[in-house]
Structure 1
Amino acid sequence: MTVKVTERDDAHMSHEALGHGIHIWDVHQQVLLVGMFHNESDAQNYKNELEMLEMRRQAESA
């Protein structure tokens, strides 16, 4: 499983969000968007949680 955190680029932000200086971090699992966060640390925490749950699931199925 691949989980990736990326900052949303300006082309995918609303004019209002850009005007207010809002940043959004997206969390993708495989190719699916599974979370959006206003700060990078929350996005990274969610990524870590997803990876830990996946490792636990794999260990239980082994």
Structure 2
Amino acid sequence: MTVRVTERDDSHKSHEAVAAGTRLWDVYQQDLLVGIFHEESQADAYRQELEAQEQQHHA
């Protein structure tokens, strides 16, 4: 399974979020968006949780 965290670029934010300087982090699982977070640490924790669940599922 592929889980990745990327910072959302301005072209994928609302005009209000861009104007406010808001940073958003997207979590993708198998190329599907599964979460959006305001903090990179929260996005990374969610990625780790998804990876752990997948490992338990295959065990």
Moved over 3 A (4+): none
Letter of the aligned partner of 1:41 in structure 2? Answer: S
Name the CA distance, whole Å, in 1 between partners of 2:30 and 2:23.
Answer: 22
| Structure 1 residue 31, shift from structure 2 partner | 1.2
Say which SS state the counterpart of residue 4 (structure 2) adopts.
Answer: strand
Task: Indicate the residue corresponding to 2:6 in structure 1.
Answer: 6
Larger Rg: 1 or 2? Answer: 1
User: What secondary structure sits across from 2:11 in the alignment?
Assistant: helix
| Sequence identity (%) | 59
Residue type at the aligned position of 1:9: D
1:35 partnered with 2:35: yes
Q: Report SS of the residue matched to 1:22.
A: coil
Normalising by structure 2, we get a TM-score of 0.97
- How many correspondences in the alignment? 59
**Offset of 1:12 from its aligned partner?**
0.6
Q: How many Å separate the matches in 2 of 1:13 and 1:34?
A: 16
Unaligned residue ranges in structure 2 (runs of 5+): none
TM-score by length of 1: 0.92
The CA deviation at 1:14 is 1.0
